[in-house]
Amino acid sequence: MIGTLELKKIMLSVFLFWVAVSISAQGRKVSGTVRDADGSSLPGVTVVEKGTTNGVSTDLDGAFTLTLTGVNPVLVFSSIGYVTIEKTVTSSQTNLQIRMSEDVTVLDDVVVVGYGTVKRSTLTNAVSSVNSDQFVQGAVTSPLQLLQGKVAGLAINTTSGDPNDSGIQLMLRGVSTLTGNQQPLVVIDGVPGTLNNVSVDDIETIDVLKDGSAAAIYGTRGTNGVILITTKKGSTGKATVSYHGYLSLEQISNEIDVLSPDEFRRLPELTDGLVSVINDGGANTVWKDKVFRDAWSHTHHISLQGGDVQTNYYASVNYRKREGIMKNTDQERTTFKIGLDRSFFDGKLSVGGDINYVIVKGSAVDQGAVYFATLTGNPTNPVYDANTGKYSTFYEVENPVRLINEYQKDLKWNEFTSTGKIVYRPIEELSLTALGSLRTYNNNNGTFATRNYDDIHDGQVWREAMYNESKTLELYGQYSKAIKQHDFSILGGYSYNDFEEQNFNLYNYNYPTDALGYAKPGLGMALKEGLASMDGHKFMNKLISFFGRVNYNYDEKYLFSGSLRYEGSSKFGKNHQWGLFYAASGAWRISQEKFMQNIKFVNELKLKVGYGVTGIEPTNPYQSHLRYAFGDPVLINGQWVRTVAPTENANPDLKWEEKHELNIGLDFALFKNRLSGSVDYYRRETRDLLYTYNVPVPPNLASTTLANVGTVENSGIEAVLSGLVVNNRDWKLNLTANFSYNTNKLKKLSNEKYQRDFLELGSTGAPVQKSTHLVKEGGAIGNFYGWKSVGMTESGEWIIEGGEYGDNSSRTVLGNGIPTMRAGFTAALSYKNFDLTVSLRGAFDYQILNQYRMLYETFEKGTQFNYPKTLLDKVYGQYVRKSPAYVSYYIENGDYVKIDNVTLGYNFKLKSSVLQNLRVYLSGLNLYTFTGYKGVDPEVNFNGLTPGMDYYTGYPTTRTFSLGVKIEF
């Protein structure tokens, strides 16, 4: 037996040996290289000693060196897109060779959903996710442009190149309302908000909740879908400084060809004598050269991030200076973001906060008037009168140079958002969350048109100020538990939203001087004489909700999710203050069944079904109440008294519009996850659509009432296919395509109390003055309605199918302004350090009314105007020489395919202890459009009840070229 003394000696020896090993381990350096499965070095891999804050990142050669601090150290290697590895380092190991396998199984990604995340493999809803590596590259003007062509069923149009208005329109799965907002709800880091103060470089991922079962957790705001934006946070490891900057050149995407000065003078010759007299001003003026320019912009983004296992931080500054292609238009924007997260009590309590602040200054012109004057100005007229030196003035057409130079519009606004979040985990399975947010928005716009601006007013001033404030408080808890093959989670919470807005605006004219601009609006005499205007408004509304959700899966094969939201809004009538919104969805992972185990090429096959009910609030508050409006003053007993009268009746039954949606989908991944995709079919019916109906007076006090009556149905198919076609040591090629098809039908417009047979909407503009669209039960929303032309008489009269032009009984459906099909395609190719990304997108089966051609492809106006060159095209063998008319000839097919984004980049391999990564790239946006449409751009308005109208008073879209650099220290 071992004696006591011998036992003490042995224990002492073991202790001394352990101390020696510990000391040697703690001071020992370990180096190594991290490579992928093909042997290529992996830069930017995080290497952290497990259980500590001790860590580094690999350089561009995949190499690292780390001084160990613990006993029996374990190193954790992690990188986005690769499977995390834990490696125990023995005392004899000083040089490690690590191989990381690519995590190409998108079905294992984490997807952000309402109030939490789930693994894509257990997702039961239709949700699309796009991360920062897949974003559209280059000089995008809105975070939404990052998604263009990337998400099946999400239509994103860029309709303007105005630097002060991104012109972005969204529509998810078709038309959902007659009067409300079509825009999806935007949620940023868990808080509903706007995209005004989010820099595109601060965005990590964007998740789109498309179907009703996914969006129902957001109640009355979920009908149009939900876009969840997750911004970048701090990371564990040493501090990292990143810089992204790019220089951009913008040009008009497509110019409308108008007659040159020479062609204008040759009109008698070019028209075979139809035009005999020319209003020749003696000059050679190309008006577009006086109005448009090559616009230069530059953007700079600097970020700092870092932290340890307890604290991490992220801070960034983004500055953008953007010129507009129209002279005297520009914008300067500065965005600040600060985020801090801290954990306490061994990770049981975490506290975090974010502050976002944006300051914007812009300049604008009366762009509609300027663009119209550019297209229609006589090219033989001079800019300035040679005798007086003043601006030349023309009959019925403004001088666009005068409009630009004598008009100053300053746009100034800022937005501040602060968010705080506390998460407490008393036990591993339970998390309790409190989230609060405050968002404020201020603008102060001033516009001054000098006394030289026009010949009617002696100077004009417009002033506008707005303030709005949004407060959010959310409290929720989630309990998750796995018991053998059963895995479930239960979520429950409360949400409170408070919104307030105030506005003031003033218009005045007849000023004694231009020297003060808009700084002294009271100097104008028109307001004192009762000829100008001053107005304002203030409104408030609240939204309170209780919500819950249950997720359950059995053996990772049978999945279920159900949610409820009970919500009350101050916008609703007293009989419908509260509403219940619910959803249920399930999925069957067929690939997990035993009978699929021998089918090796199938990695994932999941069938999913979901049904959800969501809502849309009325756009404005107080619409359920009897509303009055002030009218013109009247003279009573020698005194002027302001009149007041009812304008809309009270409706205590006013409620939300309610959408019921069924979604059936199939997700799949094949050939070791090299090929993956999904197919979804949906059918959505939006009921209780809001619209204003005429009612008799009496018994009603007002002649109109806002009521829930209509029903619209949308149905469609969405498909996504992605393939890693090539994946070897030097080459990688990933192809992704998506397609969507959607149709709509207005099923109901009347009930027993409120009736409307149809809605005639839209306007051609003067001098045609016809409505353009018809909304009717049984028909589609977006239908053009007018006269179908089939020929023209020798005298220039339109020949109309089924009757005569101007006879309402001869009208018919001429097309529809909403595309039924959309598609997107992206090819991502890399060779060693080079990478090339090409993105295409298109829209098909829709029509556009070309207003400019309709109004100006006629010689009837005479030669005080300029004209498009298409004027010289004969219509049915004849020149158009009669008054403009609304006929099908001017409704064109809008189908297009765009080369939307091309980016060529190079990543430098650097051997520097300071400079970690360096990337340069050349990018182009909206490079070319394949289309038969004769306007500037076939991407025109698709929202509202009059889609497909291409007005000639907009701001043309642009083509952008950018040279950029990304640096990481």
How many helices (H) and strands (E) in the chain?
A: 9, 49
State the sign of the Cα–Cα–Cα–Cα dihedral 803, 805, 810, 812.
positive
What are the φ and ψ backbone dihedral angles of 770, each rounded to 5 degrees? -125, 150
Whole-angstrom distance, CA of residue 322 vs CA of residue 326? 12
Q: Give 80's contacts (C-beta < 8 A, 6+ positions apart).
A: 131, 133
pLDDT tens digits, one per residue of 809-864: 999 999 999 999 999 999 999 998 899 999 999 999 999 999 999 999 988 877 88
Give the pLDDT band of residue 6 (cuts 50, 70, 90). Answer: low
pLDDT, mean of residues 269-288: 88
Give the pLDDT band of residue 238 (cuts 50, 70, 90). Answer: confident
pLDDT of 255 strictly over 60? yes
> Contact at 8 Å (CB) between 616 and 181?
yes
pLDDT of 748 strictly over 50? yes
Share of the chain above pLDDT 90, in %: 57
Of 381, 361, 385, 365, which Cα lies nearest the Cα of 292? 365
pLDDT tens digits, one per residue of 465-480: 999 999 999 999 999 9
Whole-angstrom distance, CA of residue 955 vs CA of residue 161? 6
Ordered by start, the domain boundaries in the chain are 17-100, 237-968
Residue 87, token pair as written in the block: 């490696």
Q: How many other CB atoms sit within 10 Å of the CB of residue 307?
A: 20
Whole-angstrom distance, CA of residue 930 vs CA of residue 896? 5
Coil/strand/helix, residue 21: helix
Residues forming a β-bridge with 438: 418, 471
DSSP 205: E
pLDDT tens digits, one per residue of 487-544: 999 999 999 999 999 999 999 999 999 999 899 898 898 888 878 888 898 999 999 9
Coil/strand/helix, residue 14: helix
pLDDT of 3 strictly over 90? no
pLDDT, mean of residues 572-587: 93
End-to-end CA distance of the chain: 63
pLDDT tens digits, one per residue of 873-892: 989 988 888 889 999 999 99
Whole-angstrom distance, CA of residue 65 vs CA of residue 866? 71
State the sign of the Cα–Cα–Cα–Cα dihedral 845, 851, 853, 857.
positive
pLDDT, mean of residues 437-462: 92
Residues forming a β-bridge with 968: 242, 917
Give the pLDDT band of residue 22 (cuts 50, 70, 90). Answer: very low
pLDDT of 957 strictly over 90? yes
Whole-angstrom distance, CA of residue 305 vs CA of residue 27? 27
Of 203, 15, 243, which Cα lies nearest the Cα of 916? 243
Write out the DSSP string of 374-417.
Answer: HHHB-TTS-SB-TTT-SBP--SSS--HHHHHHTEEEEEEEEEEE
Whole-angstrom distance, CA of residue 353 vs CA of residue 340? 6
Beta-strand runs (E) in 728-811 = 731-748, 758-761, 773-776, 783-786, 789-792, 798-800
- Look up residue 311 and give its amino acid: T
Q: Give 635's contacts (C-beta < 8 A, 6+ positions apart).
A: 641
pLDDT tens digits, one per residue of 599-616: 989 999 999 999 999 998
pLDDT of 747 strictly over 90? yes
With b for 16 or more beta-carbon neighbours within 10 A and e for fewer, the 757-789 pattern comes to eebeebbbbeebebbbbbbbeebbbbbbbbbbb
Q: Selecting from 3.30.450.20, 3.30.420.40, 3.40.50.1100, 2.60.40.1120, what CATH number does the domain 17-100 have?
A: 2.60.40.1120
Q: What is the CATH number of domain 237-968?
A: 2.40.170.20
Whole-angstrom distance, CA of residue 499 vs CA of residue 638? 43
- Where do we find the tokens 């756009």? 619
> Contact at 8 Å (CB) between 211 and 180?
no
pLDDT tens digits, one per residue of 365-404: 999 899 999 999 999 999 998 888 889 888 778 899 999 9
The answer to whether the 17-100 and 237-968 domains have the same CATH topology is no
- Look up residue 385 and give its amino acid: D
Helical spans, DSSP H, in 166-254: 212-215
Whole-angstrom distance, CA of residue 777 vs CA of residue 759? 10
Whole-angstrom distance, CA of residue 388 vs CA of residue 382? 12
Of 501, 523, 587, which Cα lies nearest the Cα of 552? 587
pLDDT at 1 (0 to 100): 43
